[in-house]
């Protein structure tokens, strides 16, 4: 399995902000100290304009260089445009790896699934998973499915991919919760599975399974996974009920589909994030 990361993504922060550098540095320390999985490592390059502009407007791309906060959750940071481009680059490298037969996890920040065509929001500046999905289409994939298990609805991914031929979006998320979207299906290809706050764990897993069944019926060539770990029972930003073994089960479930897939880090803000990612990767590894 390939881990794609660049430690420069730990170089920006704002005091008190939950999307913090230790999400990456702590997970890297956990993965480097383990001996249960054989991991290969790669660094992403900064994504060029062409793939980004399939998903985003030129105005949004230009705005990343302007020293103004996008909203209260999404501040301007020095060199945030470069950080966001490398995060997109991680998703594109993960796509390449999956196509070559090696599952990959892009361990990068910032996350991306809230960024819409014209707006950075919700800790997200560029929508890496949507960009990688459109890149897959542009380079030969006929059917691409996005499976988003972050506790927050991937409103940006939905908005970008809505009614795109050959793409399907499956989001399992808490509702009501930020950003307030995702209560029902949208367009002809965006399927939402809202989960009430505090839903019992096995019922939550049943809903995740229902979405997986929908994904299988779509019969994708490749699967792009928005891997958010904030539906964890002790995450501070929501009211999920999942445990580490549920993330192992998710990784195992993707492996058993027998379809090429790659994953990118979205949310997950508890101190246990390294163990949750480790459990997910062990499920993918299957050893």
The boundaries of the domain holding residue 33 are: 2-285
Q: Residues of 14-23 as b/e, b for ≥16 C-beta within 10 angstroms? A: eeeeebbeeb
Q: How far is CA 62 from the centre of its chain?
A: 23
What's the confidence (pLDDT) of residue 255?
98
Q: What percent of the chain has pLDDT over 90?
A: 100
The predicted model gives 148-160 an average pLDDT of 98
Q: How many CB atoms lie within 10 A of CB 287?
A: 7
The predicted model gives 124-147 an average pLDDT of 98
| 122, 179 contact by CB (below 8 A) | yes
Model confidence at 287, pLDDT cuts 50, 70, 90, reads confident
Please measure the distance between the N-terminal and C-terminal CA atoms of the chain and give it in whole angstroms. 12
What's the confidence (pLDDT) of residue 211?
98
The predicted model gives 146-175 an average pLDDT of 98
Write out pLDDT tens, residues 91-100.
999 999 999 9
Tell me the CA distances in angstroms from 158 to 129, 169, 174, 227, one per residue in order. 11, 7, 16, 15
Q: Is pLDDT of 32 > 80?
A: yes
Model confidence at 35, pLDDT cuts 50, 70, 90, reads very high
DSSP state of 46: P
What's the confidence (pLDDT) of residue 214?
98
Q: Residues of 247-281 as b/e, b for ≥16 C-beta within 10 angstroms? A: bbbbbbbbeeeebbbbbbbbbbbbebbbbbbbbbb
CATH of the domain at 163: 3.40.800.20
**Structural domain count of the chain:** 1
Give the span between the Cα atoms of 83 and 61, in whole angstroms: 13
Among 256, 257, 274, residue whose Cα is nearest residue 265: 274
Give the chain's mean pLDDT. Answer: 98
What's the confidence (pLDDT) of residue 28?
98
The predicted model gives 170-196 an average pLDDT of 98
Residues with a catalytic annotation lie at: 114
The predicted model gives 170-174 an average pLDDT of 98
Q: Is pLDDT of 149 > 80?
A: yes
The predicted model gives 48-70 an average pLDDT of 97
The predicted model gives 174-183 an average pLDDT of 98
């Amino acid at each position: 399995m390939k881990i794609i990361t660049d430690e420069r993504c730990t170089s920006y922060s704002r005091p008190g902000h939950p999307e913090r550098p230790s999400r990456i540095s702590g997970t890297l320390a956990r993965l480097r100290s383990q001996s249960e999985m054989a991991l290969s490592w790669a660094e992403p390059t900064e994504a060029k304009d062409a793939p980004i502009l399939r998903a985003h407007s030129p105005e949004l791309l230009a705005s990343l260089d302007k020293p103004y906060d996008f909203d209260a959750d999404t501040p301007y940071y020095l060199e945030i445009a470069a950080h966001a481009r490398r995060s997109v680059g991680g998703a594109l490298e993960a796509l390449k790896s999956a196509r070559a037969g090696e599952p990959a996890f892009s361990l990068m920040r910032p996350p991306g699934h809230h960024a819409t065509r014209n707006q950075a929001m919700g800790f997200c500046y560029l929508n890496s998973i949507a960009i990688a999905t459109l890149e897959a289409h542009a380079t030969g994939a006929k059917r691409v499915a996005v499976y988003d298990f972050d506790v927050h609805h991937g409103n940006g991914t939905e908005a970008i991919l809505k009614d795109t031929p050959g793409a399907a979006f499956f989001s399992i998320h808490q509702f009501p919760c930020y950003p307030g979207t995702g209560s029902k299906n949208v367009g002809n290809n965006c399927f939402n599975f809202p989960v009430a706050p505090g839903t019992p764990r096995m019922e939550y897993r049943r809903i995740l399974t229902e979405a997986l069944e929908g994904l299988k019926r779509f019969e994708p060539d490749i699967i792009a996974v928005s891997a958010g770990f904030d539906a964890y029972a002790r995450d501070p930003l929501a009211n999920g009920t999942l445990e580490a073994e549920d993330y192992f089960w998710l990784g195992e479930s993707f492996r058993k589909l027998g379809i090429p897939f790659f994953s990118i880090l979205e949310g997950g803000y508890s101190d246990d994030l390294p163990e949750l990612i480790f459990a997910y990767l062990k499920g993918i590894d299957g050893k």
